[in-house]
Structure 1
Amino acid sequence: MQKVKKWAPLIMAAFTILLCASCQDWGETDSPSGNQVYPKLEKIVTYSFEEEIDPAIIQLYAYSDGNIPTLVNDDERKSSVLHLNGGYAHIDNPLNSVKAQNGVSLTFWMKQVVQTGENSEQDLDGALFSFQNENGTQKFFFTANGWLSYDGVDGKYEDNNPSDYKTGLLTAGEWHYVAMTIRDNGYVVYVDGQKKIDKEVTEFDFSKIVQFMASVPSLYLGYGSGSETQEWMLDDLTIYRNQITDSQIKVPGTGGEEEENNYIIVGNEDMSTPWWSAFSDLVTMQGDQTIHYGFYNHTNGATVYNNWVLILTDGKDQTNDSRVEYLALRADAFGWGTLYSADNVTSNYNMDTFTSDMKGAYVDLTIKRTGNRIQITAVTTTAEGTVYTMNNFIEGTLSGTIGAILTCEGSYLEIDPETVYVGQQYAPDTYLVGPADMSAGWWSYFSNFSIVNTTPFVYTFINNSNATANWNNWLLVVTNGKDRGEAGYAEYFVVRADAFGWGPEGSNYNAANISASYDWDSFATQMKGAHCMIILERNGNRLDMTAKVTTADGVKLGDYTFFYEGITTDIGAFLTVELASLNMRTVGYYPFLNAAE
């Protein structure tokens, strides 16, 4: 097993059953799948224009009496850029390979050349880019005026038409860094790191535009509005599924580097992995607990068994010859082992398309023990968005410790460390901290108490709040290993969601140990329905807390951190609320989480 940096789908927080279907015709959206999937950002492609253009990827054309686009060296950018002067480019839409969940985003550098002819004006009508169907009868385009226009079978929408008014969004004669998202309820445009447009649209269903952009076959550069785009230059065009975050919005070179995630790679990335040669680290659970994995399955597609395999043992890894293998379960619903029975395996796979379905598929794998029975559920979401479910159970005499290992053949796996945990998993609305109506008074509702023996120890939950005050959200209480009401109970510290905290008299609590970069003007609203992950990590007498927040709209906020020094006992922890309600998802140990650092 190796840890490598990969561009992140910060993705599919996979704690529940997914229900969705692939899009049908352009402009048609999938049936709602509920709130189980937390959209995460995925970089699909970057066109850097640093190398000679491959005509199989980008096709170049000229307008009448115009010029074919060319690559030129730009002194200001200090790189090669695409120069479009009376021409345009066509690209097969890279978004066709994925399923957009709540948005489509683009970032790019652009510069319009100042027009010097008599009566020349800045080109505000020509499209910088457009997405179109095969014959161009349906299209979406965007211009330097921020003119956003959609014309599809399911309706029309436009904003910032330059014939109505000029926005001054992008001035000519200088390079600008543009970061924009088309989301299900509107759109936002940043120029040079500054928010210029942020519009929530109620009179038109913007999810239609999102799915249109992800579904149509063609992306054009410098074409699509019905007006020839005048001379301009383009560099570093990056396309994402879902909504970009602060990391992509900031101007590169000023702290706005692309966001990365450390995926754990199992197998050879050229998919040449021989059988029984590559393994994930052993993950163990004691008693009635759950082990969960989320990973991407990359296969050569040669056979149905060239995919992931789950091994369940008596707590020993593959190097221990005395291990008992209770189960080896393959992705194609086949298996073996001392407790395996083919009668216990069910799936709704389409075996006619299975080998292609598994290419780049995301697998949500849950292993839940109850007494002497272990239930395995694998929910597979294909790159096109089709969802399959496989269930299996084993039953019989089991050891107190169960070990889990992932391996593969003719394939490789990308495991997301933020999805791998051992502990308890909760279905939505089955474990609330505080009433759902958010009427909880101060110090009146609490999560279950946990002894934090092994770290990283993590809580994940949906933070439901009334959005009236910044402190009406989650609170974390860390104790000396004892619960409320227990003899000798003492608190080390309490921290609130809004980067505030305290400790009792004599505590080593220090407010200077808090670090957060929240936008306090929007914080209360952003926390309403946000997915939260609180991570506790102990190192000797020091405990570090990191809170990761993803808003209900899929926007990832910057990390909120705190550390406490001077811990001399066991650690206990619980959550509480005030005028809020926490819809708990998981509580437990995340063994691979340090791979994300």
Structure 2
Amino acid sequence: MRTKFLVALFAVFCLWSCQDWGEMDPPAGNQQKPTLKELASYTFDDLGSDVSIGVYQGGKAPKLVVDKQLEVVLELDGGYVSYSNPLQFYTLQEAASLTGWVKLNESDEDTPIFCFSDETGSKKLMFTANSDLYYNEEKLNTNSLLLTAGEWHWFSVAVKPDSYAIYIDGVAVDGTITNDESVATVSRAVASGEVMNFMTEASKLYFGYGSKEKPVKMWIDEVSVYKNLITDKEIAKPELPEIGEGGDSGDGDNPGNENIYVLGAPDCSTGWWSEFSPIMKADGDCIFHHRFVNHTNGLNAWNNWVLGISNGKLPNEEGYQEYAIVRADNWGWLNGNGDNTIDKSGYPLSNTYDLTNGWTLFCQEMEGAVVDLTVQRKGSTLTMNADIVTKSKLNWTYSWTYGAIPNGELGVFLTVDGSYLEIDLEEAYVGNTYSQGYNMVGSQDNSTGWWGAHSSKVLMEGDGKVVYQLYNHTSKTNIWNSYVFILTTGTHPTESGYNGATDELLILRADPYGWGAIYDEGAITVIDGMDVEKADGALVTVSFTRKGTEIAYSASFDYNGTIITPYTYIASNFPDNQEKWAVFFTVDNCWLDIISVVTYPFIANIK
């Protein structure tokens, strides 16, 4: 990320300016109009050394991707970045302004685009994808405009001592700037000048952060922060190149070609039962997840995605046993019997469309629909749930339950019929789930001391990703009395021959501290720090990814709806000759209740 701070050009200031840091524009009446100055430009060619990153629970670390129109852009998928506020310490007479590009994967009015915040996060000014300005959770504007998904939008926001203006794609949404001097709409919350003053007092500027819930996936680029009031030139939407002139990712619902597995021919010519996705397998109580874009020839309701559930084998493998087939159109069967077993109540499409209206609209809406599919087995009960965002952004759900699924290995795969799918490999995961109290580590009175108990290991080879969910319980005696995450060369302390000096690659405590053979203190980025009180009883999501020599760790604590990310750890020093690796937890006067462990089996296919 190339961040351009014009005020940092010290030599130029000394030679050409008579104003100091914290300068104030000349007072009214001296015939001098305040000068518009660009204080920072976030072009995201790289993230930059001054960036801090974090993730929401279930989110992914921010990354740079190549977009077809804007080249390198920032991708945020439940992650966020922050920088030092370039407006801090300035005294503004006229206004503070921001402009930039944003694109959403799906429309969501609560998704934060940018947010000014103080150190504690108790005071915030947030701009959302509904074109709304919120100051400490109070909405400032009267008129709103929800940004449409899948296309780049140019936002322009200006805040004056007594008013504000919001533009999207060069068109005023609420408030207007006239004669390059004034903002027409006055808000009760900004009349005192408190909001504009806060923009110079806030210590941080976030992108993708500020809401209580995880935001939808989005892309951001070319954000500028200005001292004083923007003009028609800055407000006007810049011309974008035609789609297809450039890179191949960050485009609409597709996360990028390098992440996509295409199942079926793109002309929808692949017939029934002739092509299958890679299968995901698990034993016991387990969960499977896919996210994909559905494409259909539109001829019949069944020419869409199809889910297959088996004994862990694909139809073209010896020993294949079919447990269930579920079509996208509320039809399915069990154990190879083609009689429909899906009850109509399983498909409440939306408030504006249901099955009694026929399937014509269904066929139209499923072209380009984004499907978030989860299959889960608990005991002998199998449940399927599909959350679908259709072509015109209708929200449909499709659920099905079967109460007699066999024990043993379970397999989940996808197939097509006059359709094709774009499967997001980064969203495909499989793993085990546990009832609370079943998979505990350490004594429940917090008496288990350092290294006194360990979770079982997850053994991986090559590239991979592991995500845990667990309840963390701590004695609260010290900041480090919470879970400890361990990365080894594939070994575990209970195994014969385990040698901590040679086997332990990385040990990370829940608070920002660690050690080990490849530990690098500089790889830690503190986000919220550790809060002992909020760590006790919190639901924690811990994520670890290895791609070649690159590794990334993050954890988010959910304490009664408050999300805390103590820190992240990102480094590029994993031994390139080390194929096997394992992760697990130990305790230190705390205890853990692990409720899920999932892996992402296709990460190795993403380069």
TM tier, shorter chain? 0.5 to 0.7
AA partner of residue 511 (structure 1): Y
1:458 corresponds in structure 2 to 466
Is 1:363 the counterpart of 2:366? The answer is no
Is 1:382 the counterpart of 2:378? The answer is no
Mapping 1:39-78, distance limit 5 Å: none
1:217 corresponds in structure 2 to none
Q: Secondary structure at the match of 1:524?
A: coil
Asked if the contact 2:290/2:424 (under 8 Å) is kept, the reply is yes
- CA 563–349 in structure 1, closer or farther in 2 if over 3 Å, else same: same
C-alpha distance in structure 2 between counterparts of 1:306 and 1:231, whole Å: 49
- CA 572–284 in structure 1, closer or farther in 2 if over 3 Å, else same: same
Asked if the contact 1:48/1:236 (under 8 Å) is kept, the reply is no
Q: Secondary structure at the match of 1:459?
A: strand
AA partner of residue 349 (structure 1): P
Deviations along 1:162-212, one digit per CA (max 9) or x if unpaired, are 99879789xxxxxxxx9855843799xx99889999xxxxxxxxxxxxxxx
2:12 corresponds in structure 1 to none
Aligned counterpart in structure 1 of residue 211 of structure 2, from 184, 187, 202: 184
- CA 396–127 in structure 1, closer or farther in 2 if over 3 Å, else same: closer
Q: CA deviation at 1:378?
A: 2.0
1:496 corresponds in structure 2 to 508
Mapping 1:229-244, distance limit 5 Å: 230-232=232-234, 234=236
* Percent of residue pairs bearing the same amino acid type: 19
- CA 146–573 in structure 1, closer or farther in 2 if over 3 Å, else same: farther
- CA 159–39 in structure 1, closer or farther in 2 if over 3 Å, else same: farther
Deviations along 1:98-148, one digit per CA (max 9) or x if unpaired, are 234543458988999xxxxxxxxx999783515999xx9x84789999999
Q: Secondary structure at the match of 2:604?
A: helix
1:103 corresponds in structure 2 to 112
Mapping 1:417-566, distance limit 5 Å: 417-426=425-434, 442-443=449-450, 446=453, 448-450=455-457, 452=459, 456=464, 458-461=466-469, 471=480, 474-478=483-487, 488-491=497-500, 492-493=503-504, 494-497=506-509, 500-503=513-516, 509-511=517-519, 516=523, 518=525, 520=526, 522-524=528-530, 531-535=541-545, 546-549=552-555, 560-561=570-571
- CA 162–533 in structure 1, closer or farther in 2 if over 3 Å, else same: closer
1:127 corresponds in structure 2 to 165
AA partner of residue 600 (structure 2): Y
Aligned counterpart in structure 2 of residue 586 of structure 1, from 592, 596, 607: 596
1:305 corresponds in structure 2 to 302
Asked if the contact 1:315/1:403 (under 8 Å) is kept, the reply is yes
Is 1:263 the counterpart of 2:273? The answer is no
Deviations along 1:237-285, one digit per CA (max 9) or x if unpaired, are 99xxxxxxxxx9xxxxxxxxx9997233323456565434543113333
Normalization by structure 2: what TM-score?
0.52
Asked if the contact 1:265/1:412 (under 8 Å) is kept, the reply is yes
- CA 347–364 in structure 1, closer or farther in 2 if over 3 Å, else same: same
C-alpha distance in structure 2 between counterparts of 1:572 and 1:42, whole Å: 25
- CA 403–486 in structure 1, closer or farther in 2 if over 3 Å, else same: closer
Asked if the contact 2:529/2:565 (under 8 Å) is kept, the reply is no
C-alpha distance in structure 1 between counterparts of 2:411 and 2:301, whole Å: 25
Q: CA deviation at 1:360?
A: 2.2
Is 1:413 the counterpart of 2:421? The answer is yes
Aligned counterpart in structure 2 of residue 338 of structure 1, from 329, 335, 338: 335
1:275 corresponds in structure 2 to 272
Q: CA deviation at 1:333?
A: 3.0
- CA 103–414 in structure 1, closer or farther in 2 if over 3 Å, else same: farther
Q: CA deviation at 1:292?
A: 0.7
Asked if the contact 2:381/2:402 (under 8 Å) is kept, the reply is yes
C-alpha distance in structure 2 between counterparts of 1:549 and 1:148, whole Å: 45
1:393 corresponds in structure 2 to 402
C-alpha distance in structure 2 between counterparts of 1:564 and 1:421, whole Å: 23
AA partner of residue 460 (structure 1): Y
Asked if the contact 2:331/2:341 (under 8 Å) is kept, the reply is no
1:349 corresponds in structure 2 to 348
C-alpha distance in structure 1 between counterparts of 2:287 and 2:481, whole Å: 32
Normalization by structure 1: what TM-score?
0.52
Q: Secondary structure at the match of 1:594?
A: helix
Is 1:292 the counterpart of 2:288? The answer is yes
Q: CA deviation at 1:415?
A: 2.9
Mapping 1:83-162, distance limit 5 Å: 98-100=107-109, 102-104=111-113, 127=165, 129=167, 139=174, 157-158=189-190
The count of aligned residue pairs is 432
Asked if the contact 1:310/1:330 (under 8 Å) is kept, the reply is yes
C-alpha distance in structure 1 between counterparts of 2:191 and 2:212, whole Å: 14
Q: CA deviation at 1:293?
A: 1.8
Q: CA deviation at 1:501?
A: 3.7
Is 1:576 the counterpart of 2:586? The answer is yes
C-alpha distance in structure 1 between counterparts of 2:182 and 2:591, whole Å: 40
- CA 556–441 in structure 1, closer or farther in 2 if over 3 Å, else same: closer
1:56 corresponds in structure 2 to none
Q: Secondary structure at the match of 1:461?
A: strand
C-alpha distance in structure 1 between counterparts of 2:364 and 2:58, whole Å: 23
Q: Secondary structure at the match of 2:455?
A: coil
- CA 415–194 in structure 1, closer or farther in 2 if over 3 Å, else same: same
Q: Secondary structure at the match of 2:288?
A: strand
C-alpha distance in structure 1 between counterparts of 2:239 and 2:540, whole Å: 30
Deviations along 1:295-320, one digit per CA (max 9) or x if unpaired, are 13424455332322112334433444
C-alpha distance in structure 2 between counterparts of 1:474 and 1:495, whole Å: 11
1:205 corresponds in structure 2 to none
Q: Secondary structure at the match of 1:279?
A: coil
Deviations along 1:360-408, one digit per CA (max 9) or x if unpaired, are 23323214274xx46141232435574524224374777x544332112
C-alpha distance in structure 2 between counterparts of 1:355 and 1:99, whole Å: 24
Asked if the contact 2:385/2:398 (under 8 Å) is kept, the reply is yes
Asked if the contact 1:306/1:410 (under 8 Å) is kept, the reply is yes
Q: CA deviation at 1:568?
A: 9.8
C-alpha distance in structure 1 between counterparts of 2:156 and 2:340, whole Å: 62
- CA 132–95 in structure 1, closer or farther in 2 if over 3 Å, else same: farther
Asked if the contact 1:457/1:589 (under 8 Å) is kept, the reply is yes
AA partner of residue 129 (structure 1): Y
Asked if the contact 1:344/1:394 (under 8 Å) is kept, the reply is no
Q: CA deviation at 1:575?
A: 0.9
- CA 464–362 in structure 1, closer or farther in 2 if over 3 Å, else same: farther
Structure 2: 5+ residue runs without aligned partners?
1-55, 72-101, 115-128, 130-151, 241-249, 350-354
- CA 417–432 in structure 1, closer or farther in 2 if over 3 Å, else same: farther
Q: Secondary structure at the match of 2:289?
A: strand
